[in-house]
Chains A and B, each alone.
Chain A
Amino acid sequence: MKIVLNREKLNSFYVQTIKDISLQKIMSCYQCGKCTAGCPVADFMDVVPNEMMRLVMLGEIEKLLSSKAIWLCTSCFQCGTRCPKGIEVHRVFEALRSIALREGKNYTDIEKLSEDVLDEIPQQGIIAGFRKFESLE
């Protein structure tokens, strides 16, 4: 589907919020792709890190908020460490997660998870779950 570009979209509330939360110079990304090349979970992502950066630059935020990728990100910081332009890409992921949570998207009610799942789920997953949970309060 085509992207319609205009000033309003490129400076939308979402884009501004991402910039405010991440504190990153989004427009300085030149799409070299090194973030994706180093990402340990890029293989499993529906939107890979450099693609995520590009869509933020183009103001295409909706697709990102409903993506699986932002939840697959392990915040290992590889992307930010490697970025030649000094963009902390993981912070952009984090900003997207925060917005998704504020919007009540991808809500997980941990109490409703079965004992079996809770046994299997890694500690980080539980923390992430709580973090989501808390942000809804």
Chain B
Amino acid sequence: MKKIGLFICHCGSNIAGTIDIPEVKKFFSGYDDIEISDDYKYMCSEPGQKKLRDAIVDRQLDGVVVACCSPRMHEITFRNAAQSAGLNPYKVEIANIREQCSWVHQKEKGKATEKAIDIIKTMIEKVKRDEPLKPIEFEITKRALVIGGGIAGITAAVDIANAGYEVILVERRHSIGGKMLELSETFPTLDCAQCTLTPKTVEAGRHPKIKLMVYSEVEEVKGYIGNFDIKIRRKASFVDWNKCTGCGLCQEKCPTKTESEFDHGLGERKAIYTLSPQAVPNKPIIDKNSCRFFREGKCRVCEKVCPVQAINYEMKDEIVEEKVGAIVVATGYEILETDKIPEYGYGIYKDVIDGLQFERLNSASGPTAGEIRRPSDGKIPKEVVFIKCVGSRDPEKGIPYCSRICCMYLGKHARLYKHKVPDGQAYLFYMDIRSFGKGYEEFIQQSMEEANLLYIRGRVARIMQEGDKLVVWGVDTLSGRKVEIKADMVVLGTAVLPSKGAAELGKILRAATDEYGFFSEAHIKLKPVESMTGGIYLAGCAQSPKDIPDTVAQAGAAAAKVLSLFGQEKMIQEPLIACVDYDLCSGCGVCVVACPFDARMLDQEERISIVNEALCQGCGACVSACPNKACQLKNASPKTYIAMVDKYL
């Protein structure tokens, strides 16, 4: 005979308000194998846990059922309590009578009590058959992969590297710095973005623990927390960076000019180019699509002028394999393609530009060397309209969420514009001014007072060209009047979207992304930097739109999570995973295909399937796939479940 203890939690009135607890307790007093049936107001509290511990010791219990909330909440609490009293923690089971009973049956109290009794009955059957298990230990590869070399990725990489662990920093473009390097000045302090960022890029570039892999993309990820196998595609740059000294002669002599992505189409670059004057690493690539040699088969000017013979037109993409224990996803953002809002005429009217284009106009390294000149004719615009919420908070045409940064950056733009064009007038159309950060509200108010910015509450309905002016039709809902402005230039504060390819990367990483392509956090409040997949952490706009302070804070937090993983001597894994009954296994290999974690393989000699305990997550896919019922989950065998169902029926 077994000696099982049953503990029923009231959860205040969450359970006790619906389920008749004295009745349940009475039902199980003297029930088969039940040594003690007890209840308490809050089982998870310290006195509640003490009840459980004391009963284990005093009554020599060999199993425990706690009837309470979901096992996701307190299974770990009660298992730890049982372990401290000398009972194997896997001999503790939760009967969920809150989420699956009292909460959903509040209007049928009698039936809820009956159902609670049934739930508890089945879990008693399970505990009776549970085996005592030991957690599995395995080694951790104490190296990290950071995907994305913007301010988020750089911060996380430097933080992890400073703790003494190796970091591979992968960046899609050919130098790090990300979007922040494109910005002119940053709110709320109006300090130069490059000046704040470049010390960081330089540090990442020459940190002995950071392996920089620019112009590279993650192509394949296998394995699981603690042990990932990564394949990274190093794209062909056609320049041997080991030889290249970054002298810039090739860029100077290259005869082909094309639109600069870095300047968002407002400036030009050569076919062989570095991203910016402060590029880290300061090495060029050849853009195959614009290079005259690649298009027409002749030119080779860069090859002729290169003093160190670094040009190599034959270079091929290269696949690099790496092993890491943790991954930080810091893939950043894009802005909404503004042609989605056609009434603003972006792409048709040259002087309707987006926020990032304004950053380049205002930047000393930009196409106008920092002078505010409009794209169409280079004139200094005297009336400039800034429009917020272009695509944001617009469920019909754009996205329903708030992009969080536009209120501040457009306020900053308007203020910087006034610095450079003091006799100009800035108009800002807004729906709400969301200035939530430290010093932000003060910044906005100061801008209104000192720069005489005119904030107009309302959206703009359309923009039309009239001569060299842009006629803006808006509204001022504060005075209830329609507003018309003949502007020289319009700047759109477009919605923030996840960077291109984020959802695809999510699939490669097996990390969940939301409907927009932002990476999903494991818990919005309590696990904001962990992805839903173990060992993968999130930083910056990869998770949701963020400003620089929040991005840096989250990147630091992600690094801390990686370090707390690396701080463990061994990885501890739940033993509730798959196992194989070798007598039944025919070695057909169906489980190998079914396993989403690559945890199954065939032992060729024995002709049976085996489980990689480090990789198995206990999902049960193999159990349902196995034709011979040879695959089973520990403590969840079909026999156990049939016994549980039998008891219920």
Q: Which chain A residues have a beta carbon within 8 Å of chain B's beta carbons? A: 1-7, 10, 25, 27-28, 30-31, 51, 54-55, 57-58, 60, 85
Contacts and interface: CB of A to CB of B under 8 A. Distances in A.
B372 to A, nearest CB: 15
B484 A5 contact: yes
Interface string B426-463: 01000000000000000001001100111101000000
B485 interface: yes
Contact of B383 (A3, A7, A30, A51): A7
15 contacts: A1-B481, A2-B483, A2-B484, A4-B485, A5-B454, A5-B485, A6-B486, A7-B423, A7-B424, A7-B425, A27-B449, A30-B445, A51-B479, A54-B478, A58-B481
Contacts of B424: 7
A25 to B, nearest CB: 5
A1 B475 CA distance: 11
A85 B442 CA distance: 12
A9 to B, nearest CB: 10
B300 interface: no
Given A10-B454, A28-B445, A30-B445, A3 B425 contact: no
A57 B448 CA distance: 11
Nearest to A85: B445
B448 A28 contact: yes
A28 B485 contact: no
B485 A58 contact: no
Given A3-B481, A10-B454, A58 B445 contact: no
Contacts of B482: 2-3
A7 B382 contact: yes
Contacts of A55: 479
Contacts of A27: 448-449, 452-454
A31 B445 CA distance: 12
Contacts of A60: 479
B476 interface: yes
A27 B478 CA distance: 14
Contacts of A30: 445, 448, 455
A31 B478 contact: yes
Contacts of B484: 2-5
Given A1-B481, A3-B481, A58 B425 contact: no
Contacts of A58: 454, 476, 479, 481, 483
A19 to B, nearest CB: 10
Given A3-B479, A3-B483, A27-B452, 12 more contacts: A2-B484, A3-B481, A5-B483, A7-B383, A10-B425, A28-B445, A28-B449, A51-B479, A54-B479, A55-B479, A58-B454, A58-B483
B476 A54 contact: yes
A51 to B, nearest CB: 7
A28 B450 CA distance: 8
B454 A57 contact: yes
B354 to A, nearest CB: 23
A25 B449 CA distance: 7
Interface in B485-508: 485-486
Name the residue among B424, B479, B483 with the largest chain A CB count within 10 angstroms: B479
Sort A-B residue pairs by CB-CB distance and give the 9 closest, nearest first. Answer: A2-B482, A28-B449, A7-B425, A5-B485, A3-B481, A54-B479, A4-B484, A31-B478, A54-B478
A6 B485 contact: yes
